[in-house]
Structure 1
Amino acid sequence: MKVLVDADACPVKEMIVDTSKKYNIQVYMVTDASHVLFYPEENVHVVTVDQGADSADLAIANRTEKGDLCITADYGLATLILAKKATVIHPNGFFYTAENIERMLFERHLSREMRRQKKGRGGHIPKRTKTDDANFLAIFEKALTAKEAPNS
């Protein structure tokens, strides 16, 4: 198993690095050329790809194999990873599954349509909390120590 991280805007990179080091798991932080990442840890590899709307996503999808673990907030990428029989976790601390991804993709579609028609819902994205971090860490450790992927 290896861990692949959609690292461009991932809020839990440090937790991933610290926890993966504890379990001696290889981590691949995938980012586009507009971001600069460096990790001195031997188990952490930074993969920098060209800038582009889906460059990092495609690099992650191409590197993912059955049994790997991916961290992303991107529903489209999560769908590709699930198709490869790998485990996918959202940075807020939940597993993507075949059961929940269709609903999320549909909600994303509805949101885009509302924005296109200028019927925005208003509101704001809530700030990340310590509870979000704790939820992620619990799910991440569960995935690292699982004998079988939770969504396989």
Structure 2
Amino acid sequence: MPSDLTVYVDADACPVKAEVYRVAERYGLKVYLVANDIMSVPRDQPNVELVVVSDRFDAADDWIAERAGPAAIVVTNDVPLASRCVKAGAYALAPNGRVFSPDSVGMSLAVRNLMQDLRASGEVTGGPPPFSKKDRSAFLSALDLAVTRLRRQIRTQG
């Protein structure tokens, strides 16, 4: 059953591409993997398309943000991209299952900017914790919930 929903994946460092493929196949979703370089995509899933953009800074983010809207799910760890997409009406989701909502994305952006400033001044070293099985499971649940909610919303509005 084809869906009007589209999933955009900020794909260069995305650890949950296989999970996106599984959910997309189950629901008949179109998926765009947006990256700065060529990567493999499943040959048996014609609904998954690789979009290779230039290596210009934020080229992938710009491509996704220009297309994100109310019938889109954006998978990204990039908080500024998530903010742009949420403002456009899209559902933005981090690979660990965290949802970027209109209420939370502003705080996420502020924390991200603060941490960037602290790292630049040498105050903070290290990065985020390693990606875990729990993160992967939380992402699958969050993506499934997002698809269900957005499909219901599209049916109600249409």
Q: How much does 1:52 deviate?
A: 2.0
- Which structure 2 residues correspond to residues 91-102 of structure 1 after superposition, within 5 A? 91-102=95-106
Number of the residue aligned with 2:28 = 24
Instruction: Report the alpha carbon displacement of residue 18 of structure 1 after superposing the two structures with TM.
Output: 1.1
Name the SS for the 1:98 alignment partner.
coil
What is the deviation of 1:39? 2.3
Aligned partner of 1:83 among 75, 87, 95: 87
Is 1:59 the equivalent of 2:63? yes
Unpaired runs of 5+ residues, structure 1, are none
User: Counterpart in 1 of 2:140?
Assistant: 137
Count residues in correspondence: 147
How far did 1:61 drift? 0.8
RMSD over equivalenced CA pairs, Å: 1.5
- Hey, what's the Cα distance between the residues in 2 that align with 1:58 and 1:11? 21
Per-residue deviation, 1:72: 0.5
**1:148 counterpart = 2:141:** no
Kindly provide the CA deviation profile for residues 82-137 of structure 1, in whole angstroms up to 9, marking residues without a partner as x: 111111111100210111111111111111221222222x3443221111111000
Work out whether 1:36 is the aligned partner of 2:39: yes
SS of the aligned residue for 1:9 comes to coil
Kindly report structure 1 stretches of 4+ aligned residues shifted beyond 2 Å.
35-39, 122-125
